[in-house]
Amino acid sequence: MEALGRASPLEDAEACVYGYGALKFLTMNVVLLNNLLRLGALDLMVLHLKIVAAAVSSTCVHSFQ
């Protein structure tokens, strides 16, 4: 979680994909799932998705101008 928290979804996209893939695998264990939720994994994922969506949206707007 700490490494994902420091990673930039724009600059370290590949690392984020692998990290979130590992988290998805770990969530099959209910105890680990609860710990990840307590640590803010879901909030971090939402934040990263918002960052990526804003970057993509900005890129699309500039490409049409």
Q: Using an 8 Å Cβ cutoff, are 9 and 48 in contact?
A: yes
pTM of the model: 0.76
Domain of residue 48: give its range: 2-64
Q: How many domains does the chain have?
A: 1
- When pLDDT is cut at 50, 70 and 90, the band that residue 50 belongs to is very high
pLDDT at 63: 59
pLDDT at residue 1, rounded to an integer = 85
Alpha-helix residue ranges (DSSP H) falling in the chain: 2-6, 13-26, 30-38, 41-64
Cα–Cα distance, 38 to 58 (Å, whole number): 32
